[in-house]
Amino acid sequence: MPNLLAKGRLARWSGVAGASLVTLTTMAGTVLAAAAEHAPDAAHGGEHASGGLPQLNPANFPTQIFWLALTFGVLYYLLSKKALPRVAEVLEARQERISRDLAKAAQLKDEAEAVLAQVEASLAGARAEALTLIGQASADIEANNQARQAALSADIAERLRTAEASIAAAKEQALANVRTASADIARDIAGRLAGVDVDQAQADAAVAAVIEERRG
């Protein structure tokens, strides 16, 4: 494609150069013809004509036109065979470099988009994994808290039962001690005041009846 473009430009420039040379040659011939019409007549001004400008002498016009055409022909050849091909090569190399740069830019863009897609996919996967781990950790913490709460409640209940049992045992022991002491005191008082020896069983029964009455 770049070669076709360079060749097309070279053909256009060659055509423009050729047309320009033809136009310049025509214009030069016109100028020389106009100068010939206004040149002094040789029969009336020989001395003046001989001392005028040689390029305005009609006798020199064919030679001048020949050299003019030859010069423009050489210039046309140099432009079409030397200068313009070189310019076309430079433009072709530039076009190829631009095409390579554009292709490279497109490739880098595609690679960047692919990398970006991979990064976004990785971020999405990491985000999903993090949410899963957070949910699992929350569930584990909640389960551990519930288990600890249940264990703590069971431990407290057990301690309360033990404490209640200990209190009840201590209370019964205290009551038993109070009964025994009360029975002994009652027997001692009955013996000292009434001179009656009260049986231990009777004293215990009497004390128990009094305690039950006070409880009621």
pLDDT (0 to 100) of residue 29: 58
pLDDT (0 to 100) of residue 112: 93
Q: What is the pTM of this model?
A: 0.36
Q: With both helix axes pointing from N to C terminus, report the angle between 2-38 and 84-193 in degrees, rounded to the nearest 10.
A: 140
pLDDT, one tens digit per residue, over 171-199 is 888 877 777 777 777 767 766 666 666 66
What confidence category does residue 44 fall into, taking pLDDT thresholds of 50, 70 and 90? Answer: very low
Residue in 95, 93, 83, 64 with CA at minimum distance from that of residue 16: 83
Task: Give the separation between CA 2 and CA 155, rounded to whole angstroms.
Answer: 91
Choose the weakest-confidence range: 22-26, 35-39, 125-129, 172-176: 35-39
- Whether 71 and 21 have beta carbons less than 8 Å apart is answered as no
- Both ends of the chain: CA-CA distance in Å? 120
CA angle at 82 for the pair 80 and 86, rounded to the nearest 5°? 100
What residue spans define the domains of the chain? 7-101, 169-215
Choose the weakest-confidence range: 113-122, 145-154, 171-180, 188-197: 188-197
What confidence category does residue 22 fall into, taking pLDDT thresholds of 50, 70 and 90? Answer: low
pLDDT (0 to 100) of residue 26: 66
pLDDT (0 to 100) of residue 9: 57
Structure-token pair, residue 177: 């001690």
